[in-house]
Each structure stands twice: as structure tokens, then as C-alpha cells.
Structure 1
Amino acid sequence: MDHLTKLENKSIHILREAYANFKDLGMLWSIGKDSTVLLHLARKAFFGHVPFPLIHIDTNYKIPEMIAYRDNYAKKWKLDMIYGQNIEALQAKNTFPDGNCSRLECCKLLKTEALRDTLNGTGPRFRLNHETGEYEREKNPTAFTGVIVGVRSDEEGSRSKERYFSPRNQTNDWNIGEQPPEFWNQYKTDFAPGTHVRIHPLLDWTELDLWEYIQRENIPMVSLYFDQGEGKRYRSLGCGPCTLAVESTASTVEEIVEELRTGKFSNIAERSGRAQDKEDGGGLEELRKAGYM
């Protein structure tokens, strides 16, 4: 097998192990390349059907093309699509774009707290009704005990400390020192009641692996990743006010692959355009300890 096929097979194995071992399972879909590749792998693992809900945390500041892409493919692929939101913080304008808190505080409110409350069922959750094409608020949301995430260990420092099956407590707090060992493809999937588990099928993938796989599998990506004639594109996607485009004329997957292999981005960190990382001292460990994706 070639390198990409080995990565694909391992990720599909992790996805099937997660589905076999966790009853209330969901998968985060941020609309970025990582989680979209993860979605493609899930569709492969389960023969075109994704047997668990897709969850998106909508901060209300995502770039509009991301939301349009999400809803288009959720309808096209008949996905069980859910989004969660910190409505209270948004209504109070307690956000960075409104000038009422720092970038990190905004991330904590609109991402970390929204994610926690979406996953445990205490916050508002909206589910796509495929008959009407509209999102409707769930009346009795239940908690997810396991959630699949498109985290890669090479993306930034704190993510390199993750495991394929990574336990959190009931409030999503992450104790790095209590991570279970994972040797020789043996994974711990049996955890104490009340444990919330994050599953990371892409942990060993690199940014280049992703784009080579996207090229091989012809996976549709949101247009923001490609230059539209202005000499700029996004390399990493997040909220509009905190995510900067990079200077690049790459307008195809092939050109992005070339930039990563030998070109201008071969030695530049992927998240260098994410302003909240700089505010957190160049990493996201404190946010991630509290439950950030």
C-alpha cells in the first residue's frame, strides 16, 4: 500500500472502532479541509452513509461561504446536520468584533463554551429538517459521550499531545497527564461512566497528506482555499475577524500541493494566519484544556 492508503485505512479503522464502542457519537464538522476529509472518510467507512450526526459550532462570524458550503453538502449528502451557538453571548454582544472582550475570551465564549453546551445538551442545538430545508431547534437534546474531531498532531503544539481516543471529564476539561498510552495500534475505548471522549482519526496526517488525499479523491473544498484572482487565499479557516488570508496565487488543489511540497509554505506554520493563536502565546493549550477543538 502507498502512504495515503495506509493513512486512509487506519483512519477508517478508528472511525469504525468509535462507532462500535460509543453509543451517543457525533462528529465535528468545521467546514475546513481537515474535517471535510474526515467526513469523506466517514462516508467511505460506512459505504456512503454517515451513521452519526455532524456538529458545527456556529460563532455567527464564520465567513459566509463556509455556511453556504455546509448547508449545500448537508442537503446533497443527506447528513444529520446540527449546529450549536452561544446565543446568550451573541445577544449581549460580548464578543471581540463588538469590542467587548479579547480574541481569546471571544473564542472561549463562542467556541469552547458553545461546544461544551452543544455536546452536553444544555445549550441550544438546531437540526436540519431535510423536508423543509430549514434548521429547527431541538426540543430535548441528549448529550454526546463521544465526538470525532479532525485534529492533527502537526497542526500546533497542544494537538501533538493528543491520543486517538482522548478522554475528557464531564465538563470537557482535558488533563494531559492522564492521557492513556497507545502502543502498537492498541487503543483504550473503555472509559468510566461520565467520561467524554474525543476521537482523532487524522492524528498522524500532515497538511500535505490532506491536500494530496483531496487531490487523489477529488474531494470538493470550500472556495476560500483557492485564489480567486486577487493573489490571496485562506490556508486555515476560522472566524472572519480573526483569520487572515495568505498571499498565494494557488487556484487549484495541484498548485496548493506544490506550494506545500517545495514552495513558499513548505516551512511556514499552517495556522500562522490565525490571530487568536498569537494572543495565546503561539499555541492553544490553555483553550484546549478547557474544551476548545
Structure 2
Amino acid sequence: MDYLEQIEHKSIHIIREAYSNFKNLAMLWSIGKDSTVLLWLARKAFFGHVPLPLVHIDTSYKIPEMIEYRDRLAMEWKLNLVYGQNKEALANKNTFPDGNATRIECCSQLKTKALQDTLHGIGTRYKIDHDTGKYEIWSNNEPFTGVIVGVRADEEGSRSKERYFSPRNVENNWEISAQPPEFWNQYKTEFAPGTHVRIHPLLDWTELNIWEYIERENIPTVSLYYDQGEKQRYRSLGCYPCTLAVESCAKNPVDIIEELKTGKFANIAERSGRAQDKDDGGGLESLRKGGYM
């Protein structure tokens, strides 16, 4: 096997381990390249079918093309897509774009709290209807005890401290010192009642690996990742008020792979265009300790 095949097989193994060990399991789908690769791996793991809900946290500030892509793929691939929102914060305009919150406070409300409430079943869950293409309130409010997430260790500093099977407390808070050791591909999958577990099948993948895999597998991705003639593109996707494009003429995965191999972004962090990271001291650790992805 080549290296891509090796990490592909390891990730599929972790996805299957999670599915067999956690009763109420979901997978987060941010619509970005990493979580879409994760979705592709899940389809491979279960022979074209994804037997668990995909959860998307909709801040209402995503770039419109991202939402169009999400809904189109959900219909084409018959995905059990569920989204959640912090409707109270949006209704009260307690957001950064409205001028009533810092970027960090906005992320905490629209992402972290919305995610916690959606996972716990406290917030309203909206599920796509494959007959109509519309979203309806989902009657299932049972908490998810485990969630599969597409984070990578090389993407941002705090994520390098993660484990493949990472326990959180009942409030989804992350205690770094409480992470279990993982030696020789042996994973801890039994935790005390009330523990919320996040599973990270892509932890060892790099940005280059992701794009090499996208190119090899011909995985459909949002066109925002590619130069549309303006000599810029997005390297990392988020909410439009806090996400900036990078200078690049890459028009497809092959071009992006070449950029990464030649070192164009060697000294530029992948999330350098995400303003909330800078407001969090250059990283996401304080946000992630509170439950952020």
C-alpha cells in the first residue's frame, strides 16, 4: 500500500470502531474539505451508505455557496443531514456582524453553544426531507454520546493535543490532562457514564494528504477553494465576516498540491485567514476547551 492507502485504511478502521462502540453516534460536517473527506471515508466504510446522522452547525453567516453545496450533496447522496442553530443569539443580534459581540463571543454563541445544544438534544434539530429537499423539525432529541469530527493535528496548535478517541465531560468541556494514552493503535473506547466522546479519524492526515486524497478519489468540494479568475481562493472555510481568501492561482486540486509541495504556504498557517484564531491568542485552545470543534 502507498501512504494514502495506509491512512485511509486506518481512518476507516477508526470510523468502524466508533460505530461499533457508541450507541448514539453522529458525525460533524462543516462542509469544508476535511469533513468532506471524512464523509467520503464513512461512505467507503459502510459501502456507500452513511448509517449515522450528519450534524451541521449553521451560524447563518456561512458563504451561500457552502449551504447550496451542503444541500445538493445531502440530496444526491441521501445523507441523514441535521442542522442546529443558536436561534436565540441570532434573534437578539448577539453576534459580531451585528456589533454586539467580539469574534470569540460570537463563535462561542453561534458555534460552541449551538453545537452543545444540538448534540445534547436541547436545541431544535432540523432534518432534511429527501422527498421535498426541505428541512423539518426532527422529533429525535436523544443526546449523542459520541461524535466523529474531521480535525487534523497539523491544522492548528491545540488540535495536536487531541487523541483519536477524546473524552469530554457532560458539558462537552475538554480537559487536556485527562486525555487517555494511545499506544500501538490501541484505543480506549470505554468511558464512564455521562462522558461525551469525540472521535478523530483524520488526526494524522496533513493538508497535503487531504488534497492528494481529494484529487485521487475525485471528491467533489466547494469551488471556493479554487481561483475563479481573481487570483485568490479560500484555504480554510468559515463564516464570511471572519474568513479571508489567500492569494493563489490554484484552480484545481492538482494546482493546490503543487502549491503545498513547493512551499508557497510553508510559513503561513492554514487557518491564517480565520480572524477568530487571532483573537484567541493565535490559536483555538480557549474556544476548544469549552466545546468548540
TM-score, normalising length from structure 1? 0.99
**Structure 1 spans left out of the alignment, 5+ residues:** none
> What secondary structure sits across from 2:272 in the alignment?
helix
For the aligned residues, what is the CA RMSD? 0.7
Distance 1:97 1:158 in 2: 26
- Kindly state the Cα deviation for residue 132 of structure 1 after the two structures are TM-superposed: 1.6
Equivalences for 1:72-87 in 2 at 5 Å? Answer: 72-87=72-87
- Kindly state the Cα deviation for residue 71 of structure 1 after the two structures are TM-superposed: 0.2
**Are 1:193 and 2:208 matched, yes or no?**
no
8 A contact 1:120–1:142 mirrored in 2: yes
Moved over 6 A (4+): none
> What secondary structure sits across from 1:163 in the alignment?
coil
Partner of 2:49: 49
Equivalences for 1:211-250 in 2 at 5 Å? Answer: 211-250=211-250
Partner of 1:284: 284
Distance 1:128 1:3 in 2: 36
Distance 1:187 1:107 in 2: 31
Partner of 1:178: 178
Equivalences for 1:1-293 in 2 at 5 Å? Answer: 1-293=1-293
> What secondary structure sits across from 1:75 in the alignment?
helix
Match for 1:211: what amino acid?
Answer: W
- Kindly state the Cα deviation for residue 66 of structure 1 after the two structures are TM-superposed: 0.4
Number of matched pairs: 293
Distance 1:266 1:212 in 2: 17
- Kindly state the Cα deviation for residue 140 of structure 1 after the two structures are TM-superposed: 4.1
> What secondary structure sits across from 1:270 in the alignment?
coil
Identity %: 75
TM-score, normalising length from structure 2? 0.99
Distance 1:139 1:214 in 2: 35
Distance 2:94 2:257 in 1: 39
Distance 2:21 2:287 in 1: 28
Distance 1:73 1:88 in 2: 28
Q: For each residue in 1:234-264, what CA deviation from the matched residue of structure 2 results, as whole angstroms up to 9, or x when unmatched?
A: 0000000000000111001100000001141
Distance 2:114 2:180 in 1: 27
- Kindly state the Cα deviation for residue 137 of structure 1 after the two structures are TM-superposed: 1.2
Distance 2:5 2:14 in 1: 14
Match for 1:8: what amino acid?
Answer: E
